[in-house]
Chains A and B, each alone.
Chain A
Amino acid sequence: MTHALSISDLHLGIRNGNILTPILRGINLDLSEGEIHGLVGESGAGKTMLGRVILDILPPAAVITSGQVKYPAGASTHSARNNRGNQNRGRISLIPQDPMTSLNPVKRIGKQMSEILKLAHPNSSHQTHQRAEQLLREVKIKKPEQVLQQYPHQLSGGMRQRVLIAMAFSTEPKLIIADEPTTALDVSVQRQVLRLIRDLQKNRGTTILFVTHDLGVVAKICDRVSLMHSGMILEQGDVADVFRTPSHRYTQSLLEAIPRYDRPREKLTPVAEDLQTELIQTAREYDQHRQT
């Protein structure tokens, strides 16, 4: 199996003056071609930062202290961060979390879509317009010609997320980072959007890193899953194995924390405080160990 992306022993910190706060601690992650890989963790686990490493859109204060990110044949690694971006442009794209803040409120949808399309394929405006229309049709938008003329605020949350999915797939990328793409949607729309992502991904053989905190969504759409806490991957494996026989205590307690309509309980059981502190402690010890 070829890898669409391979991250080995990645360490990353945020520099603030002379202090370097570790964010990612020894991440190993191989994404096979055509898989949907779930990246799960509570807020602050480092999911989004890992996504930004892959997209090469790190904030200026972020420093990769060791490890590397290997893209498929010929693509750049992070050893050369000076000529950022360009080589990966079009090969990796992003489906962002919040469709309202990710679209430009003062530009029509058509205009925003063609900006991306023109970067990937410098065609005539007419061709670009037709391509945009076709893309919207592929994400099951009923009146694409009308939507192209509209502004983001005129669309519903589900429609906006579809537009962003169309934009993410528009450059025929090999890899897509989906950063909580359905968190802002209600359950019915969420299911439609998940199905859409899965169908598009199947047809094109795209690899997706699906960042989310919702284990339910992971169970339904992902092939494999990695669980993160304090910048470390605690458990990794096939979705079926991880959900049926979770090996890490943290995975077990996360699964138990989820309210389920089919198993109503008197009280929910959040991840225990001492487990949380224990995990943070492990991360600290890891840092000290690395320094010495």
Chain B
Amino acid sequence: MISIDRPEVISARRLSVALPNLAARRRFQPTPMVPIIREIDLQANKGQCLGIVGESGSGKTTLGRTLIRLLKPTSGTILFNGQDITSLDEAELRPIRDRMQMIFQEPRAALNPRRRIDDAISQPLLAYNKVTGVSEAREQAADLLRQVGLDPSLGKRYPRELSGGQLQRVCIARAISIRPALIVADEIVSGLDMSSQAQVLNLLDDLRTQLGLCLIFISHDLSVVRSICDDVVVMLDGRQVESGPVAQMFTQPRRRYTQSLIDAVPLPEPDGNWLKTTIGETENHNRVKAMNIKGTTALVTGSSRGIGRELVEALAKSGVKKIYATARNISDIEELSRSYPKLVKTLSLDVTDDASVNQAAAECQDVELLINNAGVNKMSALLAADGIDDARAEMETNYFGTLRMCRAFAPILKNNGGGCIVNLLSILSNVALPLMGSLCASKAAGLRLTEGVRAELDADNTLVMAVMPGAVDTDMSRDFPPPKMPPADIARAIMDGILKGEEEIFPGEMASGLREGLKADPKGVEKELAGYLPG
């Protein structure tokens, strides 16, 4: 949000950086590039502190360095004080270099061991002609030392004579000496003991208010981030998996990865079991997209019966914040809101109607988890049917309905920091049968739609999942012979898939068996299916 008193200092849009992979270099060939950070969006304003968190190797430092153009991005844009600095060369950057500074993790390595402290602080002042001469620079250095809470007499000492906490303050003094608008602080308190850490953090926080600094604070310690930052960007494998206000990230982390980062912080509370818990470490899941269901807001279409109804029940039991249960006739789902009066909000929604979908989107701006469950099966063949009305009706709900919902809600999910879209399809998305041909076609269209939406949303870190069960014990497949899966099992499989961040699930033995069979012998499977299904 840009406001008058808090103008934007730095922002990045779809920022990506790739570096040459020297290990894979071959003679007489161009060096292959490895992507380090991908499609990062962020913004920080005057007087604001933006935290960048993530495990080692997630691209935090690369991002920080790119923001102040120590590295050149491969794509995307960086705006600094409204100016596009994405592709400026070193000479063009020079006039704005004094507006941005960086503080490093290891103050001992960042200071020249053979330079006295006041000399080190004077250097940027002299280099950017901020002072008339060395004596004025020394005077200012003394003032700066006072400003960071150090005795000016320390200026005559060498770095080796000061403690780590003192040296880090010297580095802060040097960074603020030329009054920058932006400071990138890269793990600056990781090497300090608890007491110096608190001092340095307080100092930085005070300076930020006094000088109206914009601070990019890179750290893996979430307790520190919680205490100093306003907003946070969570990174993993060079991607931004979550972002938003710091309080929200701690009360309701949207990604399981964020949760695992929070859980890994050892709080000073004696607890012998803390080391034993292994949440999110050994489990095999898509770490970028695995989502936290707890605390989210979900919307389920077609929740009057069958899988939709079971999904509402399952979500209600897994600690979601709110569920929008929707159906064409609101009277069909009133019972759900009676069972879960605090959780479930019922809504009339017809996915075949543009106006109805748009109205729902306007009402449900907080959705993070969209489950497109509504679907119809007219049991109609392609050529043998009386007309194409059945096919059209199936397409209208199964394909266009899902598409309408995705189009209406994708921007909402993005606004809420990336979420999850689940599309209920069928194993029939993958087959061609001499019966129910129009259903297969609409489900196949739904599968391609799901894959396309996933591709378009890749950078937003939205999990887009296709659910392809076999026969389920619902009204829709009442004519199907057994074995049929109970809808509650499908709901459970979907919840599990969201937690693991899976992009395709085939719940049940029938679906997984058919999937394997389709890989080996598609024609045989289709023949078998045709014999099994009611004609």
Report whether A219 and B270 are in contact in the complex, using a CB–CB cutoff of 8 Å: yes
Residue on A with the closest CB to B272? A220
* With contact pairs A261-B226, A270-B199 given, residues A187 and B267 touching in the complex (Cβ less than 8 Å): no
Contact residues of A between 172 and 227, Cβ < 8 Å to B: 183, 185-192, 194-195, 198, 213-221
B35 within 8 A of A: no
Residue on B with the closest CB to A154? B23
A287 within 8 A of B: no
Contact residues of A between 255 and 269, Cβ < 8 Å to B: 255, 257-262, 264-265, 267-269
Within 8 Å by CB of B222, from A215, A239, A261, A268, lies A261
B202 within 8 A of A: yes
Return chain A residues, CB-CB under 8 Å to B245: none
CA distance A194 to B192 in the complex (A): 20
* Chain A residues within 8 Å of chain B by Cβ, number: 47
* With contact pairs A42-B193, A189-B56, A264-B226 given, residues A257 and B198 touching in the complex (Cβ less than 8 Å): yes
Report whether B268 and A261 are in contact in the complex, using a CB–CB cutoff of 8 Å: no
* With contact pairs A190-B264, A240-B270, A270-B198 given, residues A264 and B220 touching in the complex (Cβ less than 8 Å): no
B58 to chain A, nearest CB (A): 9
Report whether B221 and A187 are in contact in the complex, using a CB–CB cutoff of 8 Å: yes
Report whether A261 and B265 are in contact in the complex, using a CB–CB cutoff of 8 Å: yes
A213 to chain B, nearest CB (A): 4
CA distance A188 to B268 in the complex (A): 16
B274 within 8 A of A: yes
CA distance A185 to B163 in the complex (A): 21
A234 within 8 A of B: no
B281 within 8 A of A: yes
CA distance A240 to B269 in the complex (A): 8
B302 to chain A, nearest CB (A): 39
Report whether B194 and A42 are in contact in the complex, using a CB–CB cutoff of 8 Å: yes
Report whether B195 and A216 are in contact in the complex, using a CB–CB cutoff of 8 Å: no
Report whether B220 and A260 are in contact in the complex, using a CB–CB cutoff of 8 Å: no
Which one of B197, B201, B205, B271 has the greatest number of beta carbons of chain A within 10 Å? B197
* With contact pairs A183-B191, A269-B198 given, residues A214 and B266 touching in the complex (Cβ less than 8 Å): yes
Report whether B227 and A187 are in contact in the complex, using a CB–CB cutoff of 8 Å: no
Report whether B265 and A216 are in contact in the complex, using a CB–CB cutoff of 8 Å: yes
A43 within 8 A of B: yes
CA distance A195 to B226 in the complex (A): 25
B74 within 8 A of A: no
Return chain B residues, CB-CB under 8 Å to A264: 226-227, 247, 250
Return chain A residues, CB-CB under 8 Å to B196: 42-43, 270
A72 within 8 A of B: no
CA distance A215 to B195 in the complex (A): 11
Report whether B264 and A188 are in contact in the complex, using a CB–CB cutoff of 8 Å: yes
A105 within 8 A of B: no
Report whether B227 and A257 are in contact in the complex, using a CB–CB cutoff of 8 Å: no
A156 within 8 A of B: yes
Contact residues of A between 37 and 76, Cβ < 8 Å to B: 41-44
CA distance A255 to B270 in the complex (A): 12
B4 within 8 A of A: no
Return chain B residues, CB-CB under 8 Å to A268: 198, 201-202, 227
* With contact pairs A188-B260, A220-B275 given, residues A258 and B201 touching in the complex (Cβ less than 8 Å): no
B346 to chain A, nearest CB (A): 35
- The interface bits of chain B over 160-175 (1 if a CB of A lies within 8 angstroms of the residue's CB, else 0) are 0001110000000000
Return chain A residues, CB-CB under 8 Å to B220: 186-187
B262 within 8 A of A: yes
* With contact pairs A43-B164, A187-B222, A264-B226 given, residues A257 and B265 touching in the complex (Cβ less than 8 Å): no
- The interface bits of chain B over 258-299 (1 if a CB of A lies within 8 angstroms of the residue's CB, else 0) are 001110111111111011100001000000000000000000
Return chain A residues, CB-CB under 8 Å to B274: 220
Return chain A residues, CB-CB under 8 Å to B276: 195
CA distance A221 to B271 in the complex (A): 8
Return chain A residues, CB-CB under 8 Å to B477: none
A157 within 8 A of B: yes
Within 8 Å by CB of B261, from A183, A188, A219, A240, lies A188
CA distance A194 to B281 in the complex (A): 14
B524 within 8 A of A: no
* With contact pairs A186-B55, A216-B266, A270-B199 given, residues A260 and B194 touching in the complex (Cβ less than 8 Å): no
A271 within 8 A of B: yes
B224 within 8 A of A: yes
B365 within 8 A of A: no
Report whether A219 and B163 are in contact in the complex, using a CB–CB cutoff of 8 Å: no
CA distance A268 to B203 in the complex (A): 10
Report whether B227 and A262 are in contact in the complex, using a CB–CB cutoff of 8 Å: no
Report whether B57 and A270 are in contact in the complex, using a CB–CB cutoff of 8 Å: no
CA distance A41 to B163 in the complex (A): 14
Residue on B with the closest CB to A242? B270
Report whether A239 and B195 are in contact in the complex, using a CB–CB cutoff of 8 Å: no
Return chain A residues, CB-CB under 8 Å to B163: 43-44
B129 within 8 A of A: no
Report whether B268 and A216 are in contact in the complex, using a CB–CB cutoff of 8 Å: yes
Return chain B residues, CB-CB under 8 Å to A239: 270
Return chain A residues, CB-CB under 8 Å to B265: 187, 216, 261
Report whether B194 and A219 are in contact in the complex, using a CB–CB cutoff of 8 Å: no
* With contact pairs A43-B193, A221-B275 given, residues A261 and B223 touching in the complex (Cβ less than 8 Å): yes
> Could you jot down 6 A-B contacts, CB within 8 Å?
A41-B193, A187-B221, A187-B222, A187-B266, A219-B268, A243-B270
Binding site for A on B (CB under 8 A): 55-57, 163-165, 190-199, 201-202, 205, 220-227, 247, 250, 260-262, 264-272, 274-276, 281
Binding site for B on A (CB under 8 A): 41-44, 156-158, 183, 185-192, 194-195, 198, 213-221, 239-240, 243-244, 254-255, 257-262, 264-265, 267-271
Across the A-B interface, the 4 shortest Cβ-Cβ residue pairs: A216-B266, A270-B198, A213-B193, A268-B198
